[in-house]
Structure 1
């Protein structure tokens, strides 16, 4: 019996994405020998059916995260997939790029960024996989300030240098306390611990603000906005864009919880609903401006 050739080719594309975990259009063109225009149509169809998704950061195609995996743990791929359309929507409202990062033992890892949507050599962010400091970046500070005490103490213990400068740990804790009070993180003030990213922060001429993405009161990731210092004062940029950044973080949190619970037939928790309601009056789709 003859097979359906079009279906067979579509399945070949899906299997390539699944096998590679992240595949570019060119890689699949080389592997399968199909014209890129044909591949694009197949990829768009697979995306519309919820079988794959395209990462903003590098244009790679990734397999859709299975609902069973989502219910077990929040993976990098899950959070990146859910957040990606919201990062794209944020790029239409804010003139500077953003990254989404998740925690690792001694650093934050970039899992998605909308930086490629901007033509800004002075504020290029990423790529996916870049390691960010907990204490020298706004993205890291946003997470560290928001996490529960036990986790925060464990992270600080990992980062503490062998012979810390006198008073430096107290200064770090003061920075984190101030971050919690004002509701967002910044790169300043600088801190002396020689953790990763410190030299880059000192010389790259950028400013950044970040907020955590919270589920049931605990952070799972953080999201930032970065801009060249010469293009705007901190106060002016924050006044203009902080609301959009916080709104995006709330929407991503809601989307993560909805996706994680959909297979179980449960509604989002009261905590996340209360957090969302405190910051906005209605939920919008990623393509709708707030």
Structure 2
């Protein structure tokens, strides 16, 4: 018996080609997809919006790249960096409408914090350029790192401090660090002050970039899994004024991200 020939749906076929391209590349810009598929950018945008509405791709704020949705078949936990970034991204976008300065989302690694996402591109200011994704931040010289270090459990904090401790730390410097972290925990947010003597990464950048920052942890199940900050030029506002104006919005965003992760753990 002759096999019946059935026509393919060309639009569906092209949409699947785009999805496969995003999944293969892990992250792709609109221009890269245009070059790979030969499709007009306007057509690609419509396809990507449709794929996004179906939960198959999402667009990162940090660089506009399109990424595949975290595969539910793999049952990734909410601690997956890709999943945290995907869930947090719309909340970072919403925060950009409430706070005049940009933010980064960062997660802990062995001896540093790593930027997972940032809403910096939504701000048309040279002073608002943060990131890019993958940048390593200090645990002890950035508000982002301090917020995590202050919120984590004693055993984890001790392990991180052990990794960061210099060969010959100045007398009293570790006690100073731990006292500072206790103060951060008590007040519920971190800043870059006070300066600390340990030569951890980012120290020189923090000293010379002229920026100020505050950060809070994102708590899931009673433990921090990431932190979110707000960064502004030091000449544009004192810590106290910016904290008073924007801290609650920052904390509300952290709570919203945590709630979204708990509601969608995979």
Would you call these one fold, judging by a TM-score over 0.5? yes
Can you list the C-alpha shifts for 1:202-230, whole angstroms capped at 9, x where unaligned? 00000000000001111000000000010
Whole-Å separation in 1 of the counterparts to 2:222 and 2:161: 20
Aligned with residue 47 of structure 1, among 44, 52, 73: 52
CA shift at 1:71, angstroms?
5.0
Aligned with residue 150 of structure 1, among 126, 151, 155: 155
Q: Which residue does the alignment assign to 1:276?
A: none
Can you list the C-alpha shifts for 1:218-261, whole angstroms capped at 9, x where unaligned? 10000000000100111000000000000000000000010117
CA shift at 1:75, angstroms?
0.8
Q: Which residue does the alignment assign to 1:59?
A: 64
Can you list the C-alpha shifts for 1:103-159, whole angstroms capped at 9, x where unaligned? 000000000000000011113110100000000000000000000111101000000
Q: Which residue does the alignment assign to 2:88?
A: 83
Q: Which residue does the alignment assign to 1:220?
A: 225
- Aligned positions, number: 261
Aligned with residue 138 of structure 2, among 125, 133, 142: 133
SS of 2:265's partner is: helix
Flag the structure with larger Rg. Answer: 2
2:238 is the counterpart of 1:233: yes
Whole-Å separation in 1 of the counterparts to 2:19 and 2:39: 13
Is contact 1:139–1:209 with CA below 8 Å preserved after alignment? Answer: yes
Whole-Å separation in 1 of the counterparts to 2:88 and 2:259: 10
SS of 1:163's partner is: coil
Q: Cα distance 1:70–1:224, how it changes in 2: closer, same or farther (>3 A)?
A: farther
SS of 1:43's partner is: helix
Q: Which residue does the alignment assign to 1:25?
A: 30
The within-5 A match list for 1:1-290 is: 1-70=6-75, 72=77, 74-260=79-265
Is contact 1:67–1:259 with CA below 8 Å preserved after alignment? Answer: no
TM-score between the two structures when normalised by the length of structure 1? 0.88
TM-score between the two structures when normalised by the length of structure 2? 0.96
SS of 1:237's partner is: helix
Question: Which consecutive residues of structure 1, in runs of 5 or more, have no partner in the other structure?
Answer: 262-290
Can you list the C-alpha shifts for 1:258-290, whole angstroms capped at 9, x where unaligned? 0117xxxxxxxxxxxxxxxxxxxxxxxxxxxxx
SS of 1:260's partner is: coil
Whole-Å separation in 1 of the counterparts to 2:28 and 2:71: 18
